Amino acid sequence: MVDDTPENLTLLGEILDPFYYVRVANSGDRALKIANTEPKVDIVLLDIMMPGMDGYEVLEKIRANMATEDIPVIFVTAKDSEADEITGLGKGAVDYITKPYRPEVVLARVRTQLQLKAARSILADQNTWLEEEVSRRMRENEIVQDVALRALASLAEMRDTETGEHILRTQRYVEVLAKKLATYEKYRGELTPEKIRLIVKASPLHDIGKVGIPDNILRKPGKLTADEWTIMQQHAEKGASAIWHAIKNQSAQESLDFLRVAMDIAHFHHEKWDGSGYPKGLSGDDIPIAARVMALADVFDALTSKRIYKDKFSFEESSRLILEGSGVHFDPLLVKAFEETKDQFVSIALELSGSR
């Protein structure tokens, strides 16, 4: 209770003391100090006409402080004009009690506001719980989706000579490269955190089209013939086509965004910066950024891993070949990003060595 007149505090105290623990303040400054100390104040009955800091200013300071902004304030005053009531409610008061006090009115209005405050607290707790539960469920769904994607991608890897670690390694390489690229002016606007998340999530599907390539070509230990190589190259378009069929049957925008990124990666990760890649012969910035990032990650892993048709190269030799591909196979800025994150690539390769 805040009032500069002791008699008013006494009268209010006689009404409220039998039901509530009451603290009193005879000035605005004192009221603000009490409102910021323990035990936490549940409601404030505030006089308007006080010397120094009036009730309106006290209310403004209560609302401006994060620690007290939610405390309900009831104005108590002899002023009973409609304009005064509108002013008080407009400044954030929850109710208005006029003097002289009627005990049943004071108790009813205080009780009502305390019940409302308790209900808001319960609702806030429930909302917090719901938000945490939704976040937990979303995290679980993300894990299930990631596992399902890796399992799907592994169908292609199992038929090829590569291992499951290839998926994990290239996904990590893609994340490192994309985050580094996002620090460069050219890509800062395009590679948002959400776009990077989609690229990383979609990267395991880069070779999903290999499920449509015959085993005698996919697992051939020697060099492919010209005809065999033509068939092998079809995996890019086969993968894009499979994902496109999924897009046509999907309505959720988030899923559509993910699938479009996945389709770009599957379709174009064998394109080259100078236009000599496949399947479309795209060049430069016409190659989707997700596919450009995937291309470098995929090549680095191929160079540093043992395949049925070759031995693995050293990290030094592999890095040299990547650098030589700047402006030819790879986006020059992408090669710069690789050069600046090369140590992270090596760490990931060693951590996820598998059967390399």
Span 60-108, pLDDT tens digits = 999 999 889 889 999 988 766 667 777 778 888 899 888 888 899 999 9
Helices (H), 17-163: 28-35, 55-64, 82-90, 103-159
Q: Using pLDDT thresholds of 50, 70 and 90, give the confidence band for residue 210.
A: confident
Neighbouring residues of 250: CB distance < 8 A, sequence distance ≥ 6: 256, 259
CA angle 288, 192, 337 (to 5 degrees): 65
pLDDT at 77: 80
| For the chain, domain boundaries | 6-127, 160-351
pLDDT average, residue stretch 209-222: 83
User: What is the distance between the alpha carbons of residues 101 and 170, in angstroms, rounded to a whole number?
Assistant: 75
Q: Which of 236, 241, 245 is nearest to 265 (CA)?
A: 236
Lowest mean pLDDT among 170-174, 197-201, 254-258: 254-258
User: What is the distance between the alpha carbons of residues 119 and 123, in angstroms, rounded to a whole number?
Assistant: 6
pLDDT at 332: 97
Lowest mean pLDDT among 133-147, 162-176, 272-286, 296-310: 133-147
Helices (H), 249-277: 253-268
* Fold equal for 6-127 and 160-351: no
* Residue located via tokens 């499920």: 211
pLDDT at 125: 80
Q: Assess whether pLDDT exceeds 60 at residue 226.
A: yes
User: What is the distance between the alpha carbons of residues 139 and 229, in angstroms, rounded to a whole number?
Assistant: 41
Look at the domain 6-127 and name its fold.
Answer: Rossmann fold (3.40.50)
CA atoms within 13 A on the CB side of 217: 17
Q: pLDDT > 70: what percent of the chain?
A: 88
pLDDT at 356: 46
Q: Are residues 106 and 8 in contact, defined by beta-carbon separation less than 8 angstroms?
A: no
CA angle 215, 220, 221 (to 5 degrees): 150
Q: Which of 43, 39, 13, 17 is nearest to 26 (CA)?
A: 13
pLDDT at 80: 62
pLDDT averaged over every residue in the chain: 87
Q: pLDDT tens-digit profile of 132-155?
A: 877 777 777 666 566 666 656 655
User: What is the distance between the alpha carbons of residues 39 and 19, in angstroms, rounded to a whole number?
Assistant: 17
Q: Using pLDDT thresholds of 50, 70 and 90, give the confidence band for residue 57.
A: very high
pLDDT at 217: 86
pLDDT average, residue stretch 194-211: 90
Instruction: Please report, for residues 118, 179, 204, 329, the alpha-carbon distance to residue 277 in angstroms, rounded to integers and kept in the order given.
Output: 66, 25, 21, 8
Q: Using pLDDT thresholds of 50, 70 and 90, give the confidence band for residue 342.
A: very high
| Residue type at 35 in one-letter notation | A
Q: Which CATH architecture has domain 160-351?
A: Orthogonal Bundle (1.10)
